[in-house]
């Protein structure tokens, strides 16, 4: 083994370690936790910086400090982006991206990688297009989406949203129909009385949506009797239709959790078939619990219930012949 091979092996181990640090979350890996928490803190500070910098007095007094922080943040995020692209081919969670070239290119077009790129792009673009700085500064808020990588509960929310997308879509479609019909009617009945406020159907649509979502700013209100009847009517109907997605999502959440609990229960029953949960099975169950986003109290209650039930069943006997009902079949009986 010569020096080049050794160097190459070192290079490979460094890449593997980088992939571990950036792509996996292992509670026992101190450095990985440090990297994760450090990035979360930096992203949060960046969001605060964007928000605070928009206040004129803060911007005038501490502009230089904010610029220094921006340079530091972009440096870190750029390094993070390069490190992710470099090491993704060793990411154990994405075994389809192992090819050195196509794997990296594919990764660069995933949602998360695009967000990482867009989060640093405004800084580099600001050297070329110097005039409209405000919009570019606002684009930095895209960094907030980098946080989604660390929220497992949000994954659950999006999953439920996708599962219920058909019913939510139906509710949205009917709401859209209602908005079109309501705004056309509002335009017809109010246009003459308030030609400046209900000037066109698009203007009436703004009013219809603001009314149906029950926001009701009050900057545009109907003044004709029929307009008032319409406003009251779409307030009632709109509430039922627009609030429907929230109800469907809540039901969906409930069902998703129920399914997850049933899934855990079945796994525990499988693991208990031999009467005991081995350390290896326990590890697998823990992984599953984390993967399913279940809380520990619920999970333990399920495991306890299965154990308790099986202990009882073992003691059940046939009332007539007295033989135990739930014992493994007698191996002497020929089948």
User: Which one of 43, 242, 268, 285 is in contact with a copy of itself (CB under 8 A)?
Assistant: 242
User: Which one of 36, 86, 216, 307 is in contact with a copy of itself (CB under 8 A)?
Assistant: 216
Note whether 27 binds a copy of itself by CB under 8 A. no
Note whether 201 binds a copy of itself by CB under 8 A. yes
Note whether 163 binds a copy of itself by CB under 8 A. yes
If the CB atoms of residues 85 and 174 are measured against a copy of itself, the closer one turns out to be 174
Site for a copy of itself in 178-197 (CB under 8 A): 180-181, 183-185, 187-188, 191
Note whether 253 binds a copy of itself by CB under 8 A. yes
Note whether 104 binds a copy of itself by CB under 8 A. no
How far apart are the C-alpha atoms of 286 and 264, rounded to whole Å?
A: 10
135: exposed, middle or buried (C-beta count within 10 Å: 0-12, 13-18, 19+)? exposed
If the CB atoms of residues 45 and 210 are measured against a copy of itself, the closer one turns out to be 210
Note whether 148 binds a copy of itself by CB under 8 A. yes
Residue pointed to by tokens 């499988």: 270
Which residues neighbour 125 within 8 Å (Cβ) at sequence distance 6 or greater? 136
User: Which one of 23, 69, 86, 206 is in contact with a copy of itself (CB under 8 A)?
Assistant: 206
Note whether 218 binds a copy of itself by CB under 8 A. yes
115-120 contacts: CB < 8 A, separation 24 or more?
A: 115/142, 115/145, 115/146, 116/77, 116/80, 116/81, 116/84, 116/146, 117/81, 118/142, 119/77, 119/143, 119/145, 119/146, 120/74, 120/77, 120/78, 120/81
The one segment of 17-25, 91-99, 109-117, 240-248 that binds a copy of itself by CB under 8 A: 240-248
Residue pointed to by tokens 């009517």: 233
Note whether 129 binds a copy of itself by CB under 8 A. no
If the CB atoms of residues 276 and 318 are measured against a copy of itself, the closer one turns out to be 318
Site for a copy of itself in 272-311 (CB under 8 A): 293, 295, 297-298
Note whether 215 binds a copy of itself by CB under 8 A. yes
User: Which one of 38, 246, 283, 287 is in contact with a copy of itself (CB under 8 A)?
Assistant: 246
Note whether 217 binds a copy of itself by CB under 8 A. yes
What tokens appear for 242 in the block? 């627009």
The one segment of 15-23, 25-33, 170-178, 284-292 that binds a copy of itself by CB under 8 A: 170-178
């Amino acid at each position: 083994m010569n020096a080049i091979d050794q160097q190459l092996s070192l290079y490979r181990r460094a890449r593997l370690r980088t992939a571990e640090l950036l792509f996996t979350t292992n509670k026992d890996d101190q450095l990985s936790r440090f990297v994760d928490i450090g990035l979360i803190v930096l992203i949060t500070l960046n969001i605060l910086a964007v928000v605070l910098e928009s206040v004129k007095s803060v911007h005038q007094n501490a502009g230089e400090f904010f610029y220094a922080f921006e340079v530091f943040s972009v440096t870190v995020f750029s390094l993070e982006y390069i490190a992710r692209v470099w090491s993704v081919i060793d990411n154990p969670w994405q075994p389809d991206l192992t090819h050195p070239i196509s794997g990296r290119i594919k990764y660069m077009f995933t949602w998360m990688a695009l967000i990482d790129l867009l989060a640093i792009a405004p800084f580099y673009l600001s050297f070329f297009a110097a005039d409209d700085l405000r919009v570019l500064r606002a684009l930095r808020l895209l960094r907030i989406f980098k946080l989604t990588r660390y929220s497992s509960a949000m994954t659950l929310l999006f999953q439920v949203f996708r599962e219920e997308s058909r019913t939510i879509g139906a509710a949205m479609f009917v709401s859209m129909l209602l908005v079109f019909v309501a705004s056309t009617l509002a335009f017809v009945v109010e246009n003459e009385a308030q030609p400046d406020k209900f000037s066109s159907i698009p203007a009436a649509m703004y009013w219809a949506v603001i009314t149906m979502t029950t926001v009701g700013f009050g900057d545009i209100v109907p003044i004709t009797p029929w307009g008032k009847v319409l406003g009251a009517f779409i307030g009632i109907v709109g509430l039922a239709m627009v609030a429907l997605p929230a109800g469907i999502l809540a039901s969906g959440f409930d069902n998703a959790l129920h399914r997850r609990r049933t899934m855990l229960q079945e796994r525990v029953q499988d693991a208990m078939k031999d009467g005991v949960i081995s350390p290896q099975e326990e590890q697998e169950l823990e992984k599953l619990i984390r993967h399913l986003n279940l809380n520990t109290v619920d999970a333990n209650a399920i495991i306890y219930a299965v154990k308790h039930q099986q202990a009882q069943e073992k003691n059940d006997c046939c009332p007539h012949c007295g033989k135990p009902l739930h014992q493994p079949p007698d191996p002497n009986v020929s089948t």
